[in-house]
Structure 1
Amino acid sequence: MNIADYKKFDVLNGRGLRNSLFTSGCRHHCKGCFNAATWNFDYGTPYMQQFEDQIISDLNIANIKISGLSILGGEPFENVDGLLGLVKRVRQECEGKDIWIWSGYTFEEIVADTSKSELLSYCDVLIDGKFILEQRNLKLQWRGSENQRVIDVKQSLNQGMAVLLD
């Protein structure tokens, strides 16, 4: 897995002050994508254990309230093997931190695919659906087009259907 970008302090991608990780590789190729450079799986730098350790350290900075980790892309669900270890560590080592994840796949597509659903199970919020240029709305929070949803993952998995975040 390659990393396209990492923002140690980010207030745009989720609630609160966050660490945001942008993975490389995406097969959706949405027309009008704001991050088309990340479609290439070889874009950016290789993900290394040292980098993962840095993310965990950044999430646990003592004197700054970091709300959690945001995972974007590219397409995170095309990098499940590389991300599973990280999200498991966040759950074990970063008390009180939430995990937000963005995907061109819908909630329903992710839960139907066992290779993707495990990664989802460690997340708190999913922003789902492909970006559709014709439905772009710059007034939306955390998403780019009207079709995309901000989903409460835990409630959705409990109820067996997508439940929007309050």
Structure 2
Amino acid sequence: MQIRIAGIVEDSIVDGRGIRMAVFVQGCPHHCPGCHNPQTHDFAGGTLDDTDRIFEAFRENPLYRGITFSGGEPFCQPKPLKALADRVHGIKKDVTVYTGWTYEALCAMHDPDVDALLSVCDVLVDGPFIEAQRDPELLFRGSANQRLIDMNRTRERGEVTLLELNW
């Protein structure tokens, strides 16, 4: 399945727990002031890639704990990312997704494709980047308003449950 990406970072340790492959999708409607990746905003930018190719590259590294979808805005391309996430879960690895929307806003969209991608997230980092709340000391997020949501527990409990970082 085709996906428009800005790039891929292999062996990332800043885009979620453990060693990860980070896939930066192209296209973002949020345009957060101070965004770390403004080159990903243009929906016509980046390059087309194939989720099968990305998965094969991911699978080649046994050290990966999981894959991270960042951007850009991953929920603007939910179908190919859901397909890729399913394959990653198939080899018992986890999926982290960054979004400029809040979890509640994503749920309120009532979009089956958005819901499908949410259903395969293990960790969701939600909320826009707010430059006034920027904090470089935070783990895996850029501003204090952003949450690290444990999506498996959130689904079990029926309420937003933050990720407990037990190192």
The answer, yes or no, to whether TM exceeds 0.5 is yes
Does residue 104 (structure 1) correspond to residue 100 (structure 2)? The answer is: yes
Listed as ranges, the gaps of 5+ residues in structure 1 are none
Q: What pairs with 1:16-95 in structure 2 (closer than 5 Å)?
A: 16-48=18-50, 52-61=51-60, 64-92=62-90, 94=91
Please report how far the alpha carbon of residue 159 of structure 1 lies from its aligned counterpart in structure 2 after TM superposition.
1.9
Give the Cα–Cα distance (whole angstroms) in 2 for the partners of residues 55 and 67 of structure 1.
15
2: CA distance, partners of 1:155 / 1:61: 29
Please give the alpha-carbon distance, in whole angstroms, between the structure 2 residues aligned to 1:73 and 1:101.
9
Residue number in structure 2 paired with 1:154 = 152
Q: Does the 8 Å contact 1:106/1:129 carry over to 2?
A: yes
Deviations 1:11-48 (A, max 9, x none): 11111111110001111110100101101011111132
Q: RMSD of the TM alignment (CA)?
A: 1.4
Aligned residue pairs: how many?
160
Gaps of 5+ in 2: none
Matched residues, percent identical?
Answer: 39
Q: Distance in 1 between matches of 2:133 and 2:37?
A: 17
Q: Is residue 10 of structure 1 aligned with residue 18 of structure 2?
A: no
Which residue matches 2:109? 113
C-alpha separation in 1, matches of 2:69 and 2:142: 16
Whether the 8 Å contact between 1:19 and 1:58 is mirrored in structure 2 is no
